[in-house]
Structure 1
Amino acid sequence: MTPERVTPAVPSYASGSSEQPLLGDTIGDNLDRTAAVFGDRDAMVEVSTGRRWSYREFVADVDALALGLLDTGLTKGDRVGIWAPNRSEWTLVQYATAKLGLILVNINPAYRTHELEYVLNQAGVRLLVAATAFKTSDYAGMITEVRPRCQELEQVVLLDSPEWDALATGSASGDRARLAEARASLSPDDPINIQYTSGTTGFPKGATLSHHNILNNGYFVGETCGYTEQDRICIPVPFYHCFGMVMGNLAATSHGSAMIIPAPGFDPELTLAAVAEELCTSLYGVPTMFIAELAVSDFESYDLSSLRTGIMAGSPCPVEVMKQVINRMGMTEVGICYGMTETSPVSTQTRADDSLERRVATVGRVLPHLESKIIDPDTGLTVPRGVPGELCTRGYSVMLGYWEEPEKTAEAIDAARWMHTGDLGVMDDEGYINITGRIKDMVIRGGENIYPREIEEFLYTHPDVLDAQVIGVPDVKYGEELCAWIRMRPGAEPLTAEALRAFADGRLARYKIPRYVRIVEEFPMTVTGKVRKVEMRARSVELLGLTAAEQTRHA
């Protein structure tokens, strides 16, 4: 008898093909190419101040600032810190440093002295550009406090000061040959940016990114959104993070689109107003931003008819929120992006012609010139399609490494240059990926593996739940129990644990129903819109009196 042939399972691997080649430019050269074609079109609009720049004016101000930076004695490879909310000056510094090969160090606007001092020293920042203050943050005061302990920090320039004016305009008529000479030594593979990952434990790590990394990622994100010179991108997400400076700024300038800055910090009303006033065609945000915008009391009074697309990313995107963004905001081509700082950041993205189900239930498929695979975290082997495992990505977008931390780099990027994300995902037969949780977020209750994302999606189906986050908390009997933090819709009665159990009974396995429920006004968040689940867990342990349970040892 002829033995029956068994067809091998299709592996969870996908690569992004494209007829569009990767860009070989530096960021400065790419900006100049754009300005040469679209010089009279809007490049940047700062809604809060009414200031606006055409591409020709934007390049002129970038070059003037670059010449000013040259006058300080900085040379290629030196680090320049930027510590400020979303302002036009932030973007000017981004492009001016890129034109000189200076490495821009993005400093989280939410940092305090301990974190600021660490980043300034770890990156070896020589010049720091900073806002004087913003909201409750006294940047100038904190800089004064830490500066004596930052030996490599030679100069601090505060925005809205004579020193900034001199830096930005003092060399406007300077020797442009010096600028050309500095740019002639640059390579697209040079490091150009250090972004500190918002770690929840220990000190953050500095993901080091090149021109090639972030310019191409911004470009292909923009290509996937269908950007042209006609597009106007509203960017309420922080420039400090890749979402703002790469998916926002670089996606815009590589296509001749306009960067619209609605406000220094996120404000739902000001964001909606900017979209209406500036006729924005695209709007960005993390899920909590879109939730806040949709909850604005006079939401219907804003004319959002110019919107066609946008991006929701930064953390898992609730299905119900995505549906409202499409139906109520008119963003019919809105997409989901998935990625991480270490991958510049986007690895997968939904497409405008994807079905509604694809766009609300997956993070899309791999972008052009990148590879994705799902592996068994224990063996490292690629799993078959439909089987969950750890998502890995490889290609031009993978960072150069963590700044001066080769051991931590080796922990994240393997010998074959695959970036291990730490995220759990499933790849379907068409290559679409669904993120099911974090490896470290997984809750193990009495031997059952529970992924909080699944429970959160269920909670969004409750008519009174505005937002929900689920964490594991210690339990003597089961090892861990589920605790749900819930934000209620305005006017709704607070949801009790008993009411939640009644709602979930028969619809959710009993072991997946949260034992504890906390009703809150807001979640502890990073500046990039990611929920600090480690902090939520610590607070829950204290508030629920679970310290003894936490100290109980389990096999």
Structure 2
Amino acid sequence: MFPRGTARSNFKHLRFTSYVHNPGCEPLTYSNLGDVLEETVNKYPNRADALGCALRNNGFEKGDRLGIWSQNCSGWIISAIAAARAGLISVMINSLYESSELRHCINKIELKGLVLGDNISGKNYYEMLRQLIPELNNTKPGDLTSETLPSLKYLFSMGKNDLKGVYNVNSFTNEYNNKDTTKYRREVKPEDGAIIHFTSGSTGLPKGGLDSNFAVVNSAYFNGLRFGLHEEHHKICVQVPMFHALGSIVTVLGGLRHGATLIIPSPTYSTAANINAMFNEKCTTITGTPTMYVDLLSQIRTRGELPAKLKVAMTAGAPCSPKIIQQIQQHLADRVMSTGGVFQSFLEDSC
């Protein structure tokens, strides 16, 4: 039975009872996390608070919109939590967007700042921005003025390289490492906006939908209850993109809220990496679209059965046929749960 009522709280108060772990390291125990991963359970909130304070002390005000344009990584999570704890609205930008789509979304939402992911094979975020903002070559960080993207004033990079016109996140937050966001969190109300997701654009240009703190917290909390994340410690295989509501709210925030471990197999979708994560990390939960499960089932038939079936597999994004559900139960997970219209069910206001 679910508890009655709602988890009326703010995204800003999200408890850091989880950590992110990259597959292939030592077993998941708190005792050796410091040697395995930089963002441990203790450092994680500090990094988010440092970034949140740095933003608020360098031109950002409550309600400003901070875009996150990146592949799946721990920096994506830190940026989203930092925005929430600083009273900003995080905007989830599809990492596959081309220049024209990116320009539309930045101008539509009137982004003030944009966090760029580190370059990966086949994706150079900075070079795509330079196509839109030729002024970058002669711009100092924090001093951006663009005719193409008039609202955009600040660019931040998760990578280690110094880029013209872009703040490096680590350098930008250095002097705020011992600060917290308490005074900014006090400004945030449950009805304030927290996250903006975009539609796929299949019926035209992508449209933005704003979720309140109240909606985000309750969606993450009650979806986690439905999947049984509160019953024991779960290890969630994060194969879905974090920019989508299924990735950001159901998988990442739902997992964080209920103390699960988030396993990030690969920066971008990779069936082989997902299978390796499930084998090596002994995942207990996975979320994905029906197409992703078709790929997984095909790989499992080729490679052999998992050492132990997962406890929960959640499908969303499209209807899942009874045949696929039966195959998931046979080869992948004991229990299959479906939810449809993830984005629409979280949507409160249109932008």
Q: 1:304 to 1:122 in 2, by over 3 A?
A: farther
Q: Which amino acid aligns with 2:83?
A: T
Counterpart secondary structure, 1:203: coil
- Give matches, 1:12-411, under 5 Å: 19-31=3-15, 35=16, 38=17, 42-47=18-23, 51=37, 53-147=39-133, 148=146, 149-161=148-160, 163-174=168-179, 176=180, 179-228=181-230, 230-296=233-299, 299-301=302-304, 303-305=306-308, 307-329=310-332, 331-344=333-346, 399-403=347-351
Unaligned runs of 5+ in 1: 1-16, 345-398, 404-555
**Any runs of at least 4 consecutive aligned residues in structure 1 with deviations exceeding 6 A, and if so which?**
none
Q: 1:213 to 1:268 in 2, by over 3 A?
A: same
Q: Encode CA deviations 1:238-297: one digit per residue, 9 max, x unaligned.
A: 000011110011111111111111111111111011122222110111111111111127
- Asked which structure has the greater RCO (Cα within 8 Å, sep 6+), the reply is 2
Q: Distance in 1 between matches of 2:38 and 2:338?
A: 29
Alpha-carbon contact 1:309-1:334 (below 8 Å) kept? yes
Q: Distance in 2 between matches of 1:168 and 1:84?
A: 19
Relative to the length of structure 2, the TM-score reads 0.85
Instruction: Determine which structure has the larger strand proportion and give its number.
Output: 1
Q: Encode CA deviations 1:468-519: one digit per residue, 9 max, x unaligned.
A: xxxxxxxxxxxxxxxxxxxxxxxxxxxxxxxxxxxxxxxxxxxxxxxxxxxx
Q: 1:400 to 1:52 in 2, by over 3 A?
A: same
Q: Distance in 2 between matches of 1:319 and 1:299?
A: 22
Give the % identical residues.
25
Q: Distance in 2 between matches of 1:340 and 1:224?
A: 14
| CA displacement at 1:334 relative to structure 2 | 2.0
Q: 1:339 to 1:180 in 2, by over 3 A?
A: same
Greater shift, 142-151 or 232-241, is seen at 142-151
Counterpart secondary structure, 2:78: helix
| CA displacement at 1:181 relative to structure 2 | 1.0
- Superposed CA RMSD in Å reads 2.1
Q: Distance in 2 between matches of 1:79 and 1:101?
A: 10
Q: Encode CA deviations 1:217-256: one digit per residue, 9 max, x unaligned.
A: 1111110111135111111100000111100111111111
Alpha-carbon contact 2:309-2:331 (below 8 Å) kept? no
Q: Distance in 2 between matches of 1:122 and 1:48?
A: 41
Q: 1:306 to 1:204 in 2, by over 3 A?
A: same
Q: Distance in 2 between matches of 1:298 and 1:19?
A: 40
Q: Distance in 1 between matches of 2:38 and 2:282?
A: 14
Q: Distance in 2 between matches of 1:297 and 1:22?
A: 39
Q: 1:338 to 1:202 in 2, by over 3 A?
A: closer
Q: Encode CA deviations 1:365-397: one digit per residue, 9 max, x unaligned.
A: xxxxxxxxxxxxxxxxxxxxxxxxxxxxxxxxx
Q: Distance in 2 between matches of 1:320 and 1:253?
A: 32
Counterpart secondary structure, 2:317: coil
| CA displacement at 1:44 relative to structure 2 | 1.4
Counterpart secondary structure, 1:308: strand
Q: Encode CA deviations 1:111-140: one digit per residue, 9 max, x unaligned.
A: 111111011111111111012534433321
Per the alignment, residue 395 of structure 1 pairs with none
Q: Encode CA deviations 1:334-380: one digit per residue, 9 max, x unaligned.
A: 21111231322xxxxxxxxxxxxxxxxxxxxxxxxxxxxxxxxxxxx
Alpha-carbon contact 1:273-1:302 (below 8 Å) kept? no
Higher alpha-carbon Rg: 1
- Give matches, 1:429-508, under 5 Å: none
Q: 1:132 to 1:88 in 2, by over 3 A?
A: closer
| CA displacement at 1:56 relative to structure 2 | 2.8
Instruction: Determine which structure has the larger helix proportion and give its number.
Output: 2
Alpha-carbon contact 1:46-1:88 (below 8 Å) kept? no
Q: Distance in 2 between matches of 1:296 and 1:218?
A: 30
Q: 1:240 to 1:94 in 2, by over 3 A?
A: same
Relative to the length of structure 1, the TM-score reads 0.55
Alpha-carbon contact 1:44-1:52 (below 8 Å) kept? no
In the alignment of these two chains, the number of paired residues is 321
Q: Distance in 2 between matches of 1:182 and 1:256?
A: 25
Counterpart secondary structure, 2:299: coil
Q: Which amino acid aligns with 2:12?
A: G
Q: Distance in 2 between matches of 1:250 and 1:297?
A: 28
Alpha-carbon contact 2:119-2:159 (below 8 Å) kept? no
Counterpart secondary structure, 2:283: coil
| CA displacement at 1:47 relative to structure 2 | 2.9
| CA displacement at 1:301 relative to structure 2 | 4.0
Alpha-carbon contact 2:238-2:251 (below 8 Å) kept? yes
Q: Encode CA deviations 1:66-108: one digit per residue, 9 max, x unaligned.
A: 2222232211100101111101100111111111111111111
Alpha-carbon contact 2:300-2:306 (below 8 Å) kept? no
Q: Distance in 2 between matches of 1:61 and 1:342?
A: 31
Q: Distance in 1 between matches of 2:313 and 2:46?
A: 29
Q: 1:306 to 1:170 in 2, by over 3 A?
A: farther
Q: Distance in 2 between matches of 1:94 and 1:29?
A: 13
